[in-house]
Structure 1
Amino acid sequence: MARVRMEIREPAVAGAFYPADPEALTGMVDRLLAEAPRYDPEPAALIVPHAGYIYSGHVAAWGFKQLAGRSYDAVVVLGTNHVEPFFREISVWARGAWRTPLGEVPIDEALADALLSAGPPLRYVPEVHLEEHSIEVELPFLQRLFPDLRFVPVMIGEPSPENIEALAEALARALAGRRAIVIASSDLSHYPRDEHARQVDLNTIGAILSLDGELVRHTIAEWMARRIPGLATLMCGEGPVLAAMAYARRTGAVHARLLKYANSSDVPYGRKDHVVGYAAIRFSREPDPPLGEEDRQTLLGIAREAVVHAVQGKPLPELRVSSPWLWLPRACFVTLTKGGHLRGCRGEIWPRSDLAHAVQRVAVLSALDDPRFPPVTAEELPHLAYEISILSPLRPVERVEEIVVGRDGLFILAGGRTGLLLPQVPVEQGWDREAFLRAVCLKAGLPEDAYRWPDARLFRFEAEVFGES
């Protein structure tokens, strides 16, 4: 049981969520970090899970690995409240240190005081931290990455809009001009079956990547209303996630990337009928670099090979890709043309799997499951040309004037129907913005002015597009 003595917060879950033995803990964390890749650009904020390391440690490592080899002079970890049901405010632990089996981590007291200077709802309430695990389980990763670590733990009681805005504003002010990293601790869906968890988590992640807090709240309410068996919550760390998103928006870290997704059934001892979801997500101030030519050619080869095997009735080839950029979960579309005319186009708007497998999957759908066309035949295979569009996260459109023809694709959800047009489509068709808006409505089977409906939800996205020369 955790105790506070001379403002030293003792570990509450050592030996349960992670090894209590320092040598075993060091070895486990170092191995998990060594197995994860590191990408540019540098993160300004992260979302990482906080379950037991045997379940979520490999996902957390994909997040923390992004900090390797980088230096920060301010580290803030945002935790959620599992154990104090009547605590509704935000507690900033402001003095002393937190202890783990790897040693003590001093509090950055000056930074804590800067946060507390914002006033209520930010207060120093140490007792609400004592048995809570959501911050503690992140510390061994940080200790192995930063031996001289100082940090500020912040626990969010109620994820109300007022609390989130107050904390995000306090963080933006206190961290201005500093090399700072904000880490939000959260797991995703709790306790549905595996297949339900993946569906729910896919939508939650998509909402997070949009950087739209209201869309996250809407997604949570919408999916909880469906009463999926076993589903207790979409995201236990709603407060930390919303606060990290709001901080990212305020500080220009508007490029969101899903680094890794898994759930507890993905490990050998996990159950398929009772799972918890996990994601590592990065927010950065710079966008991802475009794929290199070698990676593009690899993906085009995967798409072509997948279509050939599927049309010929053969099993899809097993994929072994060495480029870490193709391991990232990405949403994509594959477009098939024959003689310059569309022959099939299917894709996904949310990242479901690593990019290599996503391209393989949607290439087959484009060839065999586009309802506008009959399935591709073996005789057509030599005459097909392939184009791949890798999508950025969807962003809600607040004003239609922000849509740029040639840069943005559109996705509409209205009246229970959806429609999507890729960024290259209006350019190929010679449409202006108004024609583009009408066309995406028609694509969804809606009246051409449906984007004006009060309940219509319109999103824009960008795409990295490449094809065979």
Structure 2
Amino acid sequence: MPILGTYLMPHPPIILPEVGQGQERRIQDTINSLNAIGKDIKEKSPSTIVIITPHGTMFNDAISMVNESSIEGDLSMFGVPEVSMKCLINQKLTGEIETLSNDENVPVVLSSKDFLETFDVKLSLDHGTLVPLYYVNKFYSDYRIVHITYAPLNDLELYQFGTIITKAIEALNENAIVIASGDLSHKLKDDGPYDYSPYGKTFDTTFVELLEKNQVRDIFSMDSKLISEAGECGFRSVLIMLGVLDGYKVQSKRHSYEGPFGVGYGVMSFSIVGKEDSKLGAIEQAISNKKEQKLNNANPYVKLARESLTTYLETGKELKELPSYVTDEMEKEKRGVFVSLKKNGELRGCIGTILPTTNSIAEEIIRNAVEAGLHDPRFYEVNKDELLDIDFSVDVLGQAEPATTDQLDPKNYGVIVYNARKKGLLLPNLEGIDTVEEQLSIVLQKAGIEQDEPYELKRFEVIRHSEI
């Protein structure tokens, strides 16, 4: 059987003794599990390891695969350049995966040194690859790799890409294993890399349990907000890995789960024990049900934003009559409004007004939804085929008030900076902005105001309405 096994492996650099300097002993169960995986891989002796990482060079619209004879890198950014690695690339298998992906309209790009240099990016082995392979190489090193960096495509495309990997492996009769590199929630503790979130532990527990029970359909039905709020980097790696296993009966084993540093580290193996029908149809139905729930969202603010952009994309005309679900507040009050679009968890457009420019909140939503979809200069225009993959949110702004830096709180207050010529605004409670210093640095950059320029400061609260 060409696919010899698949694995979920975390990639915390601190787990390496050269980096951890003794701290790694706090995740000894994870170390023991990774050693067990390394021994298992040695026993299987694959000619190729397909590794899926979140930390290579990532593109928003295409899965990236390294197309060079080799790739190397080290852990200089973690203070230990002596931990280095060079891996030979299986270019034949890489090329076969690309060909089949093109045939099935799954977007992929081959990343070479010259290609990445056009983006001022150096081709280098990332820690999402290096750390798992460190534990493989302790026991076995006679292999080449296929290096894959996932993209924020929709869940079904990622799963389909996994099925393509299997077709390519089987077409070339490669003896291969597949590693999904990824950590789970980064929000398990206040002293972790991100602020604590109650969603973190819930996500980890739910996700690992579903993997243990091979309840693949239910993974694709998981609550979008739970996934988004968990702050993970392994979910998409696993979706591709699950696609690799499509059509096979699988025996799952959880080797360990730990999270003492505020990040969830899960180690699992998935062994093929037979064949079964494809789960693709059931997954498509689960995704369809999720989208139907989104369309039936009862919140009138996001419902109006979605209807506004949908109407414009389908007819080329703005929504003229207010739908019956619009509330009195939306119809009669005037406020500044921001409409934000996210596709597969990534920002796809955001446009808003600090002060009202129309006669009502409803009209502000209608206008800004179209603006966010078509006229945010950071993104190409949304097309109607994307709409079901996009989550809408609407922020209704409260009255801005003068503030000092010690009165700011990036979770609860948005911020406006301005001087005689420039102005910038940043909404509150944005992913990855956890401190006042980060908030001010970003909003000043948006405004084009230098740190040493004089400026005034205001804060404001928002009421956020969201589909997730």
**TM-score normalised by structure 2 residue count:** 0.44
**TM-score normalised by structure 1 residue count:** 0.44
